[in-house]
Chains A and B, each alone.
Chain A
Amino acid sequence: MSENPPPNSPRSRELGRTRETAALVHADRFPDPGVPEHKPRLTDTDARAAKRAERTVTTLFVLSALGTIGSLVAYFALRPDGTVPGVRLSTLALGVTLALSLLGIGFAAVHWAKSLMSTKDYIDDRHPIATSQEDRDVAVLALKQGVEDSGIGRRGLLKGAMVGALLLFPATIAVPLISSVGGDWNVSAFRHTLWERGRRLAYDPDGRLVKAADLTIGSVAHVQPEASEEERTSHEWITEKAKAVVLLVRLNPEEIRSEQRPGSSYDGIVAYSKICTHVGCPVALYEQQTHHLLCPCHQSTFDIADGARVVFGPAKRPLPQLPITVDDEGYLVAEDDFSEPIGPSYWERLK
C-alpha cells in the first residue's frame, strides 16, 4: 500500500501502467477482456502424450470388461450359504466387481473427454426468455378468438354450470376414499387399552405371568397383558400391545415419594406405561440409582419414584400409572385400565 512509487519510478515504467491507465481514466467500468486465450493441453501439442492418453482410456475400458467378467464369476462361484458372513462375502465380491465394471467406464469416458476431446471454448448467444411483442399479440388474439368462439362471455348460466360441475366431480372419488381410508374413524379407541380389573401381568415377550415374589428390589420387568397364544398371534395384537406395554419396577417402598393415584402400587412395585408421552417411543432405559427412566429417542426422563414426573427433556406429562395388586395366587393383576390415554398428546385428549 504505502510502498507504491511515484509515477516516474522504475516500477511504473517497467510495467507500463501510465500508458494503460491514461486510456481508461474516464470510463466507469473496465472493459470485458473477452474469453481468455485457449491454452493447449499436453495432449494437444505432444502426439506421444495423446497416444499415452489413448492407451490409458483403452486400459480403463478393458478393466471395466474384466470387472464385469469378475462379477459373473463371483455370482456363480460364491454361493452364499444363508449365514451372515457368507452373504457378506458374496455382497463384497459382487459389489467390488460391479464397481470395477462401472468405474472403468466412468473413468475412461471422463479421461477421454478431458484429455483427447477438444477443450476449445464455443460461444452461443442467449435470447431473452420473454416472447416477442408480435408473438404475444398473436397469442392474445388467438385466446380472444377462442373465447369469442365458445361464447362463454355471453352465456353466463352455462359458465356457472360448467364451473360447478367441474368443482363437484372430484367428490365422487374423494368422498369414498376419505371415508374408507381411516377405518372406522373411531378415535376414542385411544382412551382404552387391554388392561382391565383382574387382567394379569405377563412378561414381554414370552407371556409368562409375573409373580410379585419373583421381583427383587431394584429389578425391572417389561410387561404386557396376559393373553392367549391365539390372541398374541392375531393381527390385532400388535396394535393392542402398542398401547398396553408397561414397565414394572420394584422399589423399596420407602423410596416411593409419590404416586399418581395413592395405592396404585403393590409393596413397592410400580407399573407405568412404557409409551412416552412425548411422541410415543418405548421408554426403556432405567437407571437404578436415580430411579430415572430415560426415553432413548428424545431423552425425556421420568422419575419412577416420584409419580413418573418429567425431570428432563421434551415430554410434558408423566407416564400414566397402571394400578396393580396381587391376586390370590400371588400373580400381579391390574386393578383397572389407565385413568388417561397413554402415549403422545392429542387435541381432544382431555375431553
Chain B
Amino acid sequence: MSTGTTSQNLRGARRPSAPTTAAGKAADYLDQRTSIGVAVKAFARKVFPDHWSFMLGEIALFSFVVLLITGVFLALFFQPSMALTTWHGDLPQMHGQLMSAAFASTLDISFEVRGGLLMRQIHHWSALIFMASIVVHMLRVFFTGAFRKPRELNWLVGMLLMILGLAAGFSGYSLPDDVLSGNGLRITDGVVKSIPIIGSYMSYFVFGGEFPGEFIIARLFTVHILLVPALILALIGLHLFLMVLHKHTQYPGGGRTHTNVVGYPLFPAYVAKMGGNFFFVFGVLALMGGTMAINNVWNYGPYDPSPVSAGAQPDWYMLFLEGALRLMPGGAEVVIGGYTLSLNVLIPAVVVPGLLFTFLLVYPFLEAKVTGDRREHHVLDRPRNVPVRTALGVAFLTAFVILALAGSNDLIATHFHLSINDITWAFRVLIFIGPWFAFWVTKRICLGLQRKDRELVLHGHESGRIVRYASGEYVEVHTPLDEQERWLRVNYQAHAPLPLAPAADARGVRRKGYAAEKFWHRISKFFFEDRVEPVTPAMLAASHAHGDHETIEVSHHEKGALPANATRHDVER
C-alpha cells in the first residue's frame, strides 16, 4: 500500500456516494456505528395486513405507555409510607385527620399539585382501558385462531402479560391506603389465609406480620412501579419481537395465503396510523381523566379497619373473583382432622381463576392435538368455521360476565329493588346453566352461518327479480357470488375427528396406546363431529347440473345422515 492512500484510509474509506445533506450525513454517521441501514432496509417497507381488530393490541400497548407517563408524574409526589401523619390541607373533611403518609400524599397530589388529580384520573382510567383492551385483544386472537402454530408461545407471553396486568392493577389500586382499597387488601388477606397449610405464613409473608402492619404499602409500591412494569416491558418486547418474526396474521380473502402477507408498508401508512392511534388513545384517556371522576379517595377517608361502604366494587377486571366469592355458599368450609379447609374461599378465589387461566393456557395445545394439524397458520379463521372453539370461547366469556355481574349483585339489588338473596341464588344457578347454554347456542349459530355460506355459494344471492317461464312457473333469479365473495365462503378447512384404528391389529393382538388414542378420538369428536364441509367446485357444478334438489350435506357420522335440507337443529326438535 502506498503512503498516499494510507492517510486517506485513516480518515475512513469514503464511500462512492458520500452524503451531502445534513440528514444524509447524520444517517451515515449512525450507520457507520450501528449498521442501522440493515434495519431500515428490512423494516421501512415491511408489509402489515390491515384490519381494525389488529388495533386492539395497539390500544393495550399505548394505554401502557400512558400509564408509564402518568405513573412517573404520580411517583414524583407519592410517598409509599404508612407512617402516621396529620394532614393540614384545605379540605375541611380531611383537615387535621390522622392518616398514613401514603393517603396524605394522595390528597396532596389531588389538591395541592396542579394537574395532579388529572394525572391520577388518567392513570386510573388507563389501567381500566389497559386491561379491557388486553382482554378484547385476547378474544380477537382466540376467536380467529391466531394462537395456532407458530404463535402458541406468543399466546403464552400474552397470557403472562394479562396476569401481570392484573397484578399491576391490583397493586396500584391499594396504594392510596384509603378505606376502599384497605378493605380490598383485607379481603386479599382473608383469601391468602385460606390457602391450606401455609396460609397463615403467606399472610405474614405478604404483610410482614399481621394485617395491615406497616409494610404493605411500601411493598406494593415496589411491586407496582418496579417489578411488574419491568416484567411487562420485557414481555412486551418479546411479544412484539415474536410478532415481527412471525409476521402478522391476515384475515382470509383473495390472494391471502399461508406463504404471503398482503397489506400496506410500515412506512409511511402504518407509522402514521399507529402514531395517530397513540395520540388518539392518549387523547381519549385524557378526556376521560378530565371529565370523569374516578376514585375520589377524600370521600372514603384514610384506611381504618372499622368502617366499610356499601355498594363498593373492585375495578372491573377483579369483579369476576369478587362475584365468585359472593356466590359460593358458606357450607363448603370443612374441618378435616382439626384443620380448617376453607373451600368456601378457595374454590372461588383460587379454583375459579385457576380453571379460566388453565383453559386459556392449554387451549392452543389442545386444539393442535385434536386437529392433528402441524402446519403453520397465517390466515385467520372466521369464527363460524370453527364452531366448537367459538362456542367454548363464548361459554367462558359468559361465565366471566355472570361472575362479574354477581360481583355487582348489591348494586343490581338496590337499582332494581330486588332481593339480594334471590339475585345471588339466580346467579348460583346461572353460573352452571349459562355457559352451557351459551356453548350450545353459539355452536348452533356457527353451524347455521356455515350452512348459510354454503347456501349462498351454491345458489347465489336472492336478486328480487321474478321471472316467469313459458310454462307459467315463477322463479326468483339468484345472482351467483363473485369470485372474491365465493372464495371467502369456501376457503376453510373443516377438520374431521382424529381417526381411530381398531383396538386389535390384524393378528388380533391388542394394540399398545389404544386407550390414549381412544381418549383423544373422543375429545376430537367433541370438537369436530358436527361440521359443514366447504363447497367444492364439483358440488357447485352438480348443483347447477341437477337443478336445485341437492342436499345440504352435514357430516354427522354418528347420528346418521340428515334428510335433505334439514339442519340438525330441526332434527333435534
Contacts and interface: CB of A to CB of B under 8 A. Distances in A.
Interface in B315-345: 322, 325-333, 335, 338-342, 344-345
Interface stretch (B166-174, B277-285, B498-506, B521-529): B277-285
Given A121-B262, A347-B196, A88 B293 contact: yes
A106 B118 contact: no
Given A84-B298, A282-B308, A91 B255 contact: no
Interface of B: 45-47, 82-84, 89-91, 98, 110-112, 114-115, 117-118, 121-122, 150, 183, 186-187, 189-191, 193-201, 203-205, 208-214, 245-247, 253-265, 268-270, 272-273, 275-284, 286-287, 289-291, 293, 298, 303-312, 322, 325-333, 335, 338-342, 344-345, 348, 376, 378, 409-410, 420-421, 424, 455, 459, 467, 469, 474-480, 483-484, 486-487, 490-491, 534-538, 540-541, 543-545, 547-549, 565
A346 B276 contact: no
A284 B308 contact: yes
Contact of A10 (B89, B275, B345, B467): B467
Contacts of B187: 279-281, 297
Given A7-B545, A28-B536, A110 B273 contact: yes
B487 A103 contact: no
B115 A94 contact: yes
A36 interface: yes
9 contacts: A4-B475, A5-B547, A95-B118, A98-B290, A99-B290, A123-B261, A279-B190, A298-B322, A314-B327
Interface stretch (A13-21, A46-54, A167-175): A13-21
Nearest to A234: B84
A110 B279 CA distance: 10
A2 B564 CA distance: 12
Given A12-B544, A314-B329, A108 B276 contact: yes
A87 B541 CA distance: 73
Contacts of B342: 316, 344-346
A33 interface: yes
Contact of A222 (B115, B306, B311, B474): B306
A279 to B, nearest CB: 3
Nearest to B482: A33
Contacts of B344: 278, 314-316
A211 to B, nearest CB: 20
B469 A124 contact: no
Nearest to A178: B205
A297 B304 contact: no
Interface string A207-243: 0000000000000001010000000010100110111
A190 B306 CA distance: 17
6 closest cross-chain pairs (CB), A and B: A95-B290, A279-B190, A109-B276, A82-B90, A35-B255, A106-B280
Nearest to A15: B480
A275 B427 CA distance: 26
A279 B293 CA distance: 29
A285 B308 CA distance: 9
A241 B305 contact: yes
Contact of A34 (B255, B486, B538): B255
Nearest to B341: A347
B210 A189 contact: yes
A346 B199 contact: yes
A344 B345 contact: yes
A38 to B, nearest CB: 11
A11 B467 CA distance: 9
A25 B118 CA distance: 67
Given A4-B459, A241-B305, 18 more contacts: A11-B467, A15-B480, A30-B537, A82-B112, A90-B115, A91-B121, A95-B290, A113-B270, A123-B262, A124-B261, A182-B204, A187-B204, A190-B210, A233-B98, A235-B84, A278-B345, A280-B211, A313-B330
Contact of A27 (B46, B199, B214, B538): B538
A41 interface: no
**Residue of A92, A314, A351 with highest tally of chain B CB at under 10 A:** A314
B307 A282 contact: yes
Given A30-B486, A278-B344, A102 B286 contact: yes
Given A91-B290, A344-B345, A106 B276 contact: yes
Given A12-B544, A17-B480, A113-B273, A280 B209 contact: no
A85 to B, nearest CB: 12
Nearest to B339: A347
Nearest to A83: B90
Given A109-B275, A238-B212, A281-B186, A123 B47 contact: yes
Nearest to B543: A4
**Residue of B82, B258, B409, B540 with highest tally of chain A CB at under 10 A:** B540
Given A95-B118, A224-B306, A235-B214, A346 B200 contact: yes
Interface stretch (A73-81, A137-145, A155-163, A327-335): A73-81
A75 B90 contact: no
B110 A87 contact: yes
Nearest to A343: B190
Interface string A232-257: 01010011011101000000000000
Contacts of A349: 340
A83 B91 contact: yes
**Residue of A88, A96, A129, A243 with highest tally of chain B CB at under 10 A:** A129
A331 B279 CA distance: 65
A86 to B, nearest CB: 9
B204 A298 contact: no
A317 B333 contact: yes
Given A183-B208, A187-B201, A350-B339, A30 B276 contact: no
A181 B205 contact: yes
Contact of B291 (A4, A84, A96, A222): A96
A344 B190 contact: yes
A107 B330 contact: no
A348 interface: yes
B544 A21 contact: yes
B291 A95 contact: yes
